[in-house]
Structure 1
């Protein structure tokens, strides 16, 4: 014991009566605390404060000794359990804070410019079916069926590059021969097998121009087609010399060789109105 050492004085004052009666026991206790006060391998004291030594002197040596051993690794390297726990807790708190920040952050909103534009193929409309040509409006007192047949006659003349006067001659002729209806023949039962708009009985005459298969105008099937019949009429009119200078009646009679040659003249005015409406 050292009388001048404050630690020794403190231990001498606080020790129990039994310890005062045993100087050797007191010396051993003080020696243990001084040994604990000396640095270990790393130069650090496990118990360096006076309250710790007092606690040891009062009989808590075992608990503090366990704490001292708990603070030492298997290789006797000193540890700082409190500091490590604090650092680990701080790292855990930081990870939790980041997770909360990510969960709380709003989802990114795409800007209008970032919206993909539809491709031309996506906006392309299905092709429309070609519209049927409008039927011509009837004029000159004709029915719709008569006007439709007149249009066929005029269209064929346009395709053949025939002058308008030839179209007037053709329409006037059809008006006289069939009243602009596609007629079958009671004499030719075959003619009824094809689309028709009535029937006549003038020998084997059929169609818009009452042309006869027996005269070489074509077959029954061909002559029952209004476009074919009109084409045959225009080709025959071309073969008439000087037909352009003839009257409508004379030009029509030169082609048809009708028993009533003057009958075509009465249709000239109406035929002119019809052709004008269709060209």
Structure 2
């Protein structure tokens, strides 16, 4: 579960060209809420005892994202926090997640299709590769039965029915089912649920393998988005259609 800057806030880059997370409110990534919902539904539909652990990598405030997931119904949480993680790219993030997931133990990893800040959508695949397990990504429907995870992936022209043996990694889209709102009872219960805190030493990860120093990608420059300019107003005094056509042709729309 990723703790991300609020998309409605005034987001900008810090001096080191990483996202400035101190001057904007954060929250649980909306796309990851769908993953929590699917985990809860799998648990509710299972005859076995299912334990849902939510995991995040981020600063102290990232616990807010975990508490949101716990209030929805997850059982326990793991928070990986370490100053040396600052500036980690997708490859480094997948390393930290993989080590934490292996330490926690798992049968099925469920994530959102992408984060709402980076929107790269590659971490589930990277994670599956590091764990050495099958990946079934971008599912709009998911279920688990007899040691197999099954799901439907919807494309522009067709839908695919996919399955993989457990353990596995899956990601779900925003079409997989509306995430539930935490109830008052769930919010109160979340305060008593366990949240473990780990750092890089707990995961046997060296600082130089993550953070800005260990990143495989780098941001060379960033600039503020230009202010929106006023649009072209066409007054229809008998020639409006012609002027509109000329404008569209000038923009190569027609």
Q: Which TM class, normalised by the smaller chain length? A: under 0.3
Question: Is the radius of gyration larger for structure 1 or structure 2?
Answer: 1
Give the TM-score normalised by structure 1. Answer: 0.20
Give the TM-score normalised by structure 2. Answer: 0.21
Whose strand fraction is larger, Structure 1's or Structure 2's?
Answer: 2
Whose helix fraction is larger, Structure 1's or Structure 2's?
Answer: 1
